[in-house]
Amino acid sequence: MLREAISRGGRMSARRHPATIADVAARAGVSQASVSRVLNGKPSVDPEIVRRVRRAVGELGYAPSMAARSLVHGRNQTVAMVVPDLGNPMFQGILEGVSVAAAGDGYRVLVADTVERVDDEEATALEARQRCDAVVLCAPRLPADRLERLVERIAPVVVVNRQLEAPGVPSVGVDYARGIRDLVDHLVGLGHRDLVYLAGPEPSRSNADRLRGIADAEAADADVRVRVLAGGSGLDDGAAAVEAVDAARRDGATAVMAFNDLVALGLLAALRRRGVDVPGELSVAGFDDIPMAAYASPALTTLSVPRAELGAQVWTRLRGLIAGEPVAHAVTFRPRLEVRESTAAPR
Amino acid sequence: MLREAISRGGRMSARRHPATIADVAARAGVSQASVSRVLNGKPSVDPEIVRRVRRAVGELGYAPSMAARSLVHGRNQTVAMVVPDLGNPMFQGILEGVSVAAAGDGYRVLVADTVERVDDEEATALEARQRCDAVVLCAPRLPADRLERLVERIAPVVVVNRQLEAPGVPSVGVDYARGIRDLVDHLVGLGHRDLVYLAGPEPSRSNADRLRGIADAEAADADVRVRVLAGGSGLDDGAAAVEAVDAARRDGATAVMAFNDLVALGLLAALRRRGVDVPGELSVAGFDDIPMAAYASPALTTLSVPRAELGAQVWTRLRGLIAGEPVAHAVTFRPRLEVRESTAAPR
DNA sequence: CTGTTAGCGCGTTCAA
DNA sequence: TTGAACGCGCTAACAG
């Protein structure tokens, strides 16, 4: 019989196109305005009307058109998140954090993966902004001047891991310089003096921050030396750098700090294959404290950054901006050193 | 007149609210219809008009309202992707694949993370559908009957890793049963007879598929035995299962197949800590072939599933549905066995 | 407390 | 080829 109803051309009240508020109004014998009021929980409406509207809504299977709603309100209830690489655990973590936090306020997030194409970043962000009420911008490699210009065109926006000159743009980030200094201190405390930094992508801002932290550390302690080697940001990059790293080791280096955990993990694997004992012959540390870090062999010493909390902070600020509240100041999280097994005293 | 515009309140072309098509029309001295035609690249428009419109658009920094557009067209150019857990590399991979594929057609994807809350899955999917033109549904634990009912309410939809009874709903997935059988064959070929399967989440459909594959394998070869142990789906779960796994080993088991790579990696770490040699004393295999698998110690034998391609396939089908094309049949990818170092002949 | 009216910004008829 | 007018579905102002 259900089949019958269907073949008959649709079930009772089943129009080909979704029901509109007008249909509901007609069926309930009231005005559209009343339907709207009921649906939006406006305070003073006759209980009887409420009843009839609810019934009509149920029978028609009515659902409001978000498009119409957006047009009227000028808001989407959607924010965009622009990321350079969804494959990176760091961004995944932030995305997840923002996503759940935003969901709590009825907002959803649109992902815009620029797939490492820095040149498309502005266009992507602009386009994303048109679809959404605000944007979370992760653009680690976009030159500062271009970034400054971009943010003012896509406001409201919260930028991640970039410090802006202009006020009015909240940013939340990680104090990479500070983190790396803490790591150097840890290593030096262990007795290391000759370190290597396996660098991240050249244009990456957070890489520059780490380099700055390293320079500070070198300046502070005369007999600490840090060699900078070209690395990258993925597992492959870490593995690929093994030659250079091992050469440095034979030349006297006793510890390596990788750009991030992925690089460290890749390096660890390659080192193992090569027969280099970690941390016996060489200490290795990462950055980010991705879940896998604790399960590596040996467990990776790293700097923990609160990804989820970071995402939540991003949302808090973004929500404020959308609501037109005064902009919150920038916040940066100081990474927490997580000492595990991959670092030890040199011998 | 430029002067006029300026004194009218702020910088040239800087109205408090974004410019509308009417503003452009006025400024260009043409009708809104003409502006619309120019912007949408309609064929026959006077070059002179085109010129003036373009100029006005530039001067005003005009950008069409997506909301209004959506209202007229009844389309968003946005699809939703409902996932149970964004932290899972499997879903991340698919998201990335769908995201880039969709972007190629001017579509964006909205993420809806149900955070493992199966009970909210329907509501989340429904809500997501209202905002978007279609949805990609990843609901591995939603009971079949509820799934069937859900999909017909949110069509157009493509379901991932679930086989549906009803036609009309394309699904793309992985042949887990087949994959696990290939793995059993590999292990048996190596000489293993007493295996253990570290199961995934109880209600997970793909876990059931693997179990079916295992049952088939057992039925096919009388002297192969597979013990099923409770596992999970994350690194922690794998590590937590080490007791049970080691007990099975001492009881004669020589190889373990984990629900996925994460579980296998967690187990590997725990086994190492416990001093159990892999693959010497015990062979271990995973599923999914996440990037880290190849860099594990020892490198993990696993079943490779083409995440990116899977995402692309999802998009192809979704696009077809949106365009109203006849539905494509379901596709399933057969995992490819990736033999590495964590499996070897028992001794 | 309810209904009527007027847009939100755009695409798309229909005449001219 | 161009422009005027209408409608997409909904909410907000204003009457009643």
Average pLDDT over chain A reads 92
CATH of the domain at B191: 3.40.50.2300
Domain boundary, last residue among B64, B87, B116 = B64
pLDDT digits (tens, 9 = 90+) for B238-259: 999 999 999 999 999 999 999 9
More confident residue, B168 or A245: A245
- Strand, helix or coil at A132? coil
Residue A327 confidence class, pLDDT cut points 50, 70, 90:
confident
Chain C nucleotides covered by protein, CB below 7 Å: 1-5, 7-13
Task: Give the gap in angstroms from C-alpha B74 to the nearest C-alpha of chain A.
Answer: 8
Same domain, B301 and B319: no
Range of A267's domain? 176-305
The C-alpha angle B266, B270, B275, rounded to 5 degrees, equals 145
Query: The tokens of B18 are what?
Result: 């974004």
Same domain, B301 and B316: no
Same domain, A257 and A276: yes
Same domain, A56 and A152: no
Q: What number of other Cβ atoms are within 10 A of residue A336's Cβ?
A: 13
Query: Which residues lie near nucleic chain C, judged by CB under 7 A?
Result: A 29-34, 37, 43-46, 48-49, 68, 71-72, 74; B 17-18, 20-22, 32-33, 36-37, 39-40, 62, 64-65, 67-69, 71-73
Q: Does the pLDDT of residue B175 top 80, yes or no? A: yes
Average pLDDT over residues B210-226: 96
Which nucleotide does the CA of B44 lie closest to, via C1'?
Answer: D1
Query: The tokens of A241 are what?
Result: 């750098």
Nearest by CB to residue B110, choosing from A78, A272, A292, is A78
Alpha-carbon torsion angle A115, B92, A171, B19, nearest 10: 60
Percent of chain B with pLDDT over 70: 95
Q: Which residue is nearest to nucleotide D13 (CA to C1')?
A: A33
Same domain, A214 and A283: yes
Query: The tokens of A185 are what?
Result: 């201190």
Residue of B288, B292, B315 best to disrupt the A interface, most CBs of A under 10 A? B292
Same domain, B51 and B142: no
Average pLDDT over residues A200-229: 96
Q: Is residue A340 part of a domain?
A: no
Q: A93-130 burial, b for 16+ CB within 10 Å, e for fewer? A: bbbbbbbbbbbeeebbbbbbbbbeebeebbebbebbbb
Residue B18 confidence class, pLDDT cut points 50, 70, 90:
confident
Q: Give the total number of structural domains in chain B.
A: 3
Please report the pLDDT score of residue A16 as a whole number.
Answer: 57
Q: Does the pLDDT of residue B10 top 70, yes or no? A: no
Same domain, B204 and B259: yes
Same domain, B163 and B91: yes
Q: Is residue B180 part of a domain?
A: yes
Please report the pLDDT score of residue B326 as a whole number.
Answer: 82
Q: Does the pLDDT of residue B344 top 90, yes or no? A: yes
Nearest by CB to residue A108, choosing from B112, B268, B291, is B112
Please report the pLDDT score of residue B15 as a whole number.
Answer: 40
Burial of B236 (0-12, 13-18, 19+ CB in 10 A): middle
Please report the pLDDT score of residue A15 as a whole number.
Answer: 39
Minimal CA–CA distance to B160: which of B91, B99, B220, B106? B91
Q: What number of other Cβ atoms are within 10 A of residue B189's Cβ?
A: 9
Domain boundary, last residue among B42, B64, B86 = B64
**Which of the residue ranges A39-53, A189-203, B57-71 would you say has the lowest mean pLDDT?**
A39-53
Q: Is residue A341 part of a domain?
A: no
Residue B27 φ/ψ, nearest 5 degrees: -65, -35
| Closest alpha carbon within chain A to B62 | A130
Q: Is residue A272 part of a domain?
A: yes
- Strand, helix or coil at A7? helix
Residue B13 confidence class, pLDDT cut points 50, 70, 90:
very low
Query: The tokens of B119 are what?
Result: 């009970």
Q: Is residue A323 part of a domain?
A: yes
Q: Does the pLDDT of residue A203 top 70, yes or no? A: yes
Minimal CA–CA distance to A294: which of A250, A327, A339, A329? A339
pLDDT digits (tens, 9 = 90+) for B314-330: 999 999 999 988 887 88
Same domain, A84 and A158: yes
Q: Between chains, do A131 and B108 touch, taking CB under 8 Å as contact?
A: yes
Cβ contacts of residue A139 below 8 Å, gap of 6+?
A: A82, A84, A114, A118, A121, A125, A147, A150, A159, A162
Same domain, B169 and B316: yes
**Which of the residue ranges A209-223, A288-302, B183-197, B321-335 would you say has the lowest mean pLDDT?**
B321-335
Q: Is residue B342 part of a domain?
A: no
Q: Does the pLDDT of residue B14 top 80, yes or no? A: no
Residue B63 is given by DSSP the state -
Please report the pLDDT score of residue A13 as a whole number.
Answer: 37
Window B9-38, strand D contacts by Cβ < 7 Å: 30-34, 37
Chain Cα centroid distance, residue A98: 7
CATH of the domain at B52: 1.10.260.40
pLDDT digits (tens, 9 = 90+) for A119-169: 999 999 999 999 999 999 999 999 999 999 999 999 999 999 998 887 778
Q: Is residue B44 part of a domain?
A: yes
Average pLDDT over residues A26-46: 93
Report d(CA B16, CA A279) in Å as an integer: 61
Residue A50 confidence class, pLDDT cut points 50, 70, 90:
very high
Q: What is the pTM of this model?
A: 0.90
Residue of B295, B297, B340 best to disrupt the A interface, most CBs of A under 10 A? B295
Report d(CA B277, CA B275) in Å as an integer: 6
The answer to whether B56 touches B62, Cβ cutoff 8 Å, is yes
> Letter for the amino acid at A328?
A
Report d(CA B212, CA B232) in Å as an integer: 17
Cβ contacts of residue B150 below 8 Å, gap of 6+?
A: B121, B122, B125, B126, B137, B139, B142
Q: Does the pLDDT of residue B145 top 70, yes or no? A: yes
Q: Does the pLDDT of residue B44 top 90, yes or no? A: no
Percent of chain A with pLDDT over 90: 85
Out of A327-341, B109-123, B271-285, the most confident range is: B271-285
Q: Is residue B344 part of a domain?
A: no
Residue B16 confidence class, pLDDT cut points 50, 70, 90:
low
The answer to whether B244 touches B256, Cβ cutoff 8 Å, is no
Same domain, B181 and B301: yes
Please report the pLDDT score of residue B2 as a whole number.
Answer: 26
Cβ contacts of residue A69 below 8 Å, gap of 6+?
A: none
Please report the pLDDT score of residue B11 as a whole number.
Answer: 32
Q: Does the pLDDT of residue A7 top 90, yes or no? A: no
Same domain, A28 and A107: no
| Closest alpha carbon within chain A to B296 | A269
Report d(CA A132, CA A110) in Å as an integer: 8
Alpha-carbon torsion angle B88, B92, B98, B104, nearest 10: 180
Which residues share a beta bridge with B158? Answer: B136
Please report the pLDDT score of residue B6 as a whole number.
Answer: 26
Residue A277 confidence class, pLDDT cut points 50, 70, 90:
very high
Instruction: Say whether the peptide bond before residue A335 is cis (omega within 30 degrees of 0).
Output: no
Window B35-54, strand D contacts by Cβ < 7 Å: 37, 44-46, 48-49
Q: Does the pLDDT of residue B312 top 80, yes or no? A: yes
| Closest alpha carbon within chain A to B63 | A130
